[in-house]
């Protein structure tokens, strides 16, 4: 009878789950992006368990696209992205039906021509109006270089303009948008978070005494945070999560460093400080993000194992079981990724176009040592290494046993080609147009350099850069095998 009872219970649960899924409202995003070379877009959602889901949207030859998804379970801010094609700060929710249009000739043109209509467009009108104002003002103020008094004036001026737009957009509740007031609250947290972020970043970069930092931080605390900076409802805001939570911790770490430099070196300093600053879900989320950053930054199995050991106490102190489960899954996923690129493993396959239009595969380089550079046109350190890469490749000119390859990742094709016309590289240039190399070669940070041996296996997954003192020794050793 127990088995029968469990079966019936399971079927009842399944029926309820299916009914809920059936009656859930989808999010629809469609539209047309003119003058884009991209073939797809990525859109990011966060579920109720803080897991990020990525949906891909095909861009047709005429620039049109369409997505109907049930992955979104709560109102939130998201982005449509693929390389340099970026449509950021879009407000979405179950039941929204948004049509997005724009001209992607370049970033500025898309920024100026982006339009959002349909169900949910009233909320998105706020961002559109702010963007239009920014484009019209052409404000190129480098706020991070301002002195404190000038920075505070800039913050107040920006807040006044944003508030005027906010009051116009959120003056009247639209009939079709039941999430209007949710986003009204979220955007208010966003804007005050951004204002305080500038203050915190200024303190992080500036030279102040303990007392000065404490006073400036308290005097410029936005109204919304007067009741306390750690409140679970603030987690609705991406800007609060992205900027305030980590920088408020950084502020107190810097202050503690000034007060007692040895205190920050204590084994439990981070955990104790987090417990002092944050409570509830905010505390758990900060600890979760801190461990996730260790996972992300690990570029070898050894580093990952070290991160896992260093994170044990932090993970155990997280109260949310779902967050703990997510971290365990993240460790396993990263381990599986890194195992595929360990020395001696076959190099992950690719089939990429060159700037000349010819396709190249990793298998086609067998019999040669391959020195790979993962880079992007927007990456300053990558561009700075170009002269060193050129010098290194030319030093092996005439040696048919080695090939130098640069692969552009996370980049737009137009921007990539423009950078090539400026840099004039003489070695092979490939374009990772779908992001497959970036994923399979675990390119969490660029520039990244990899050596593949003559048998097509990974020789060095974290190779020295072209300007390093040891790179020629490493390459010569591999060539001698």
pLDDT band at 52; cut points 50, 70, 90: confident
pLDDT level of residue 293 (50, 70, 90 thresholds): very high
Contacts of 336 by beta carbon, 8 Å cutoff, 6+ apart: none
Residue 9 lies in a domain: no
pLDDT of residue 45: 87
Residue 221 has, within 13 A of its CA and on its CB side, a CA count of 14
Mean pLDDT, all residues of the chain: 91
415 in Cβ contact with 428 (< 8 Å): no
Task: Tally helices (H) and strands (E) across the chain.
Answer: 17, 15
Query: Please, are residues 253 and 202 in contact by the beta-carbon 8 Å criterion?
Result: no
Whole-number Å distance between alpha carbons of 162 and 180: 18
Q: Quick check: is 379 catalytic?
A: yes
Per-residue model confidence as pLDDT tens digits over 462-471: 999 999 999 9
Q: Given this model, what pLDDT does residue 292 score?
A: 94
DSSP string, 388-456: HHHHHHHHTTT-TTEEEEEEE-S--HHHHHHHHHHH---SEEEE-TTSHHHHHTT-SSSSEEEEE-TTS
Same domain, yes or no: 297 and 204: yes
Q: Which residue has the higher pLDDT, 105 or 12?
A: 105
Confidence of residue 5 (pLDDT cuts 50, 70, 90): very low
Residue-wise pLDDT for 245-261, tens only, equals 999 999 999 999 999 99
Helix extents (H) in 262-320 = 269-277, 280-297, 301-317
Q: Are strands 351-353 and 359-361 parallel, antiparallel or unpaired?
A: antiparallel
Q: Please tell me whether residues 358 and 286 are part of one structural domain.
A: no
12 labelled catalytic: no
Residue 367 belongs to a domain: yes
Domain boundary, last residue among 122, 143, 166? 122
Instruction: Tell me: pLDDT of 2 over 70.
Output: no
Whether 7 is covered by a domain: the verdict is no
Mean pLDDT of 323-351: 94
Q: Which residue has the higher pLDDT, 50 or 141?
A: 141
pLDDT at residue 10 is higher than 60: no
How far apart are the C-alpha atoms of 476 and 481, rounded to whole Å?
A: 9
Domain final residue, candidates 69, 90, 122? 122
- What's the domain range around 318? 194-339
Note the pLDDT of residue 71.
86
Looking at the domain assignment, is residue 161 inside a domain? Answer: no
Domain assignment present for 139: no
pLDDT(393) > 60: yes
Segment 383-399 shows an average pLDDT of 96
Q: Domain for residue 292, yes or no?
A: yes
Poorest-confidence range of 50-59, 125-134, 336-345? Answer: 50-59
| CA–CA gap between residue 188 and residue 304 (Å, rounded) | 39
Same domain assignment for residues 411 and 438: yes
| Within a domain: 165 | no
Q: What is the pLDDT of residues 412-460, one digit of tens each?
A: 899 999 999 999 999 999 999 888 898 899 888 899 999 999 999 999 9
Q: What is the pLDDT, as a whole number, of residue 54? A: 85
pLDDT tens digits along 355-376:
999 999 999 999 999 999 999 9
pLDDT of residue 479: 96
For the chain, the domain total comes to 3
Pair (310, 414) in one structural domain: no
Q: 425, 432, 479: which is closest to 451 by C-alpha?
A: 479
Mean pLDDT confidence for 284-311: 94
Cis upstream peptide for 235 (omega within 30°) = no
**pLDDT band at residue 108 under the 50/70/90 scheme:** confident
Percent of the chain clearing pLDDT 90 (strictly above): 80
Do 199 and 293 belong together in one domain? yes
User: What are residue 202's phi and psi, to 5 degrees?
Assistant: -60, -45
Give pLDDT tens digits for 212-248. 999 999 999 999 999 899 999 999 999 999 999 999 9
pLDDT class of 172 with cuts at 50, 70, 90: confident
User: Tell me, what CATH number does 458's domain have?
Assistant: 3.40.30.10
Residues 305 and 424 in one domain: no
Per-residue pLDDT at 278 = 98
Asked whether residue 335 falls in the same domain as residue 198, the answer is yes
Say whether pLDDT at 351 is over 50: yes
Of 61, 95, 122, the domain-final residue: 122
What pLDDT is stored for residue 189 in this prediction? Answer: 96
Find, among 36, 44, 95, 100, the residue nearest to 70 by Cα.
95
Residues 330 and 358 in one domain: no
- Whole-angstrom distance between the N-terminal and C-terminal Cα of the chain? 69
Question: How much is the pLDDT for 21?
Answer: 47
pLDDT at residue 267 greater than cutoff 80: yes
Is the same domain home to 323 and 370?
Answer: no
Q: 317 and 356: one domain?
A: no
- Same domain for 48 and 96? yes
Contact 167, 145 (CB under 8 A): no
CATH code for position 38: 2.60.40
Q: Is residue 416 part of a domain?
A: yes
- Model confidence at 308, pLDDT cuts 50, 70, 90, reads very high
Catalytic residue (choose from 382, 386, 437, 458): 382
Q: Determine the distance from the C-alpha atom of residue 59 to the mean position of all C-alpha atoms in its chain, rounded to a whole number.
A: 22
Annotated catalytic residue within 379, 452, 458, 471: 379
CA separation for the pair 273, 259 (Å, rounded)? 14
Res 382 pLDDT > 90: yes
What span, in angstroms and rounded, lies between the C-alpha atoms of 291 and 289? 5
Same domain, 293 and 242: yes
Return the structure tokens found at 371: 């020195």
117: enclosing H helix or E strand: strand 115-119
């Amino acid at each position: 009878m127990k088995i029968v009872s469990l079966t019936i219970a399971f079927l009842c649960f399944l029926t309820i789950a299916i009914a809920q899924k059936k009656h859930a409202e989808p999010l629809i995003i469609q539209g047309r992006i003119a003058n884009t070379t991209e073939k797809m877009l990525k859109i990011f959602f966060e579920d109720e368990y803080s897991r990020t889901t990525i949906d891909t949207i095909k861009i047709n030859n005429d620039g049109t696209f369409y997505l109907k998804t049930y992955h979104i379970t709560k109102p939130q801010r998201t982005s449509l992205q693929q390389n340099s094609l970026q449509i950021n700060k879009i407000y979405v929710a179950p039941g929204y039906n948004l049509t997005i249009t724009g001209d992607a000739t370049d970033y500025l043109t898309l920024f100026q021509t982006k339009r959002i209509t349909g169900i949910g467009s009233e909320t998105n009108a706020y961002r559109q109006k702010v963007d239009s104002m920014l484009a019209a003002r052409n404000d190129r103020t480098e706020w991070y270089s301002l002195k404190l008094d000038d920075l505070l004036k800039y913050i107040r001026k920006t807040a006044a303009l944003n508030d005027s737009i906010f009051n116009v957009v959120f003056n009247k509740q639209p009939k079709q948008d039941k999430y209007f007031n949710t986003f009204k609250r979220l955007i208010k947290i966003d804007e005050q978070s951004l204002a305080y972020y500038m203050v915190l970043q200024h303190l992080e970069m500036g030279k102040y005494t303990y007392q000065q930092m404490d006073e400036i931080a308290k005097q410029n605390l936005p109204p919304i945070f007067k009741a306390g900076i750690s409140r679970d409802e603030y987690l609705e805001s991406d800007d609060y999560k992205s900027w305030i939570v980590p920088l408020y911790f950084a502020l107190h770490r810097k202050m503690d460093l000034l007060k007692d430099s040895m205190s920050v070196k204590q084994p439990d300093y981070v955990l104790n400080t987090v417990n002092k600053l944050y409570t509830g879900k905010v505390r758990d989320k900060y600890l979760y993000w801190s461990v996730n950053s260790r996972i992300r930054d690990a570029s070898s199995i050894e580093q990952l194992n070290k991160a896992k050991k260093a994170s044990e106490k932090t993970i155990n102190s997280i109260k949310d079981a779902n967050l703990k489960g997510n971290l365990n899954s993240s460790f396993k996923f990263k381990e599986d990724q890194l195992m595929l690129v360990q020395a001696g493993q076959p190099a992950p396959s690719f089939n990429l176009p060159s700037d000349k239009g010819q396709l190249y595969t990793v298998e086609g380089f067998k019999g040669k040592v391959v020195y790979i550079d993962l880079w992007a046109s927007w990456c300053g350190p990558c561009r700075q290494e170009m002269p060193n890469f050129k010098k290194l490749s030319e030093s092996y000119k005439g040696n048919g046993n080695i090939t130098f390859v640069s692969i552009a990742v996370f980049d737009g094709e137009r921007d990539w080609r423009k950078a090539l016309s400026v840099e004039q590289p003489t070695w092979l240039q490939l374009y990772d147009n779908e992001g497959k190399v970036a994923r399979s070669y675990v390119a969490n940070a660029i520039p990244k350099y990899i050596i593949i041996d003559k048998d097509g296996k990974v020789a060095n997954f974290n190779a020295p850069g072209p300007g390093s003192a040891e790179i020629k020794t490493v390459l010569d050793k591999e060539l001698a095998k």
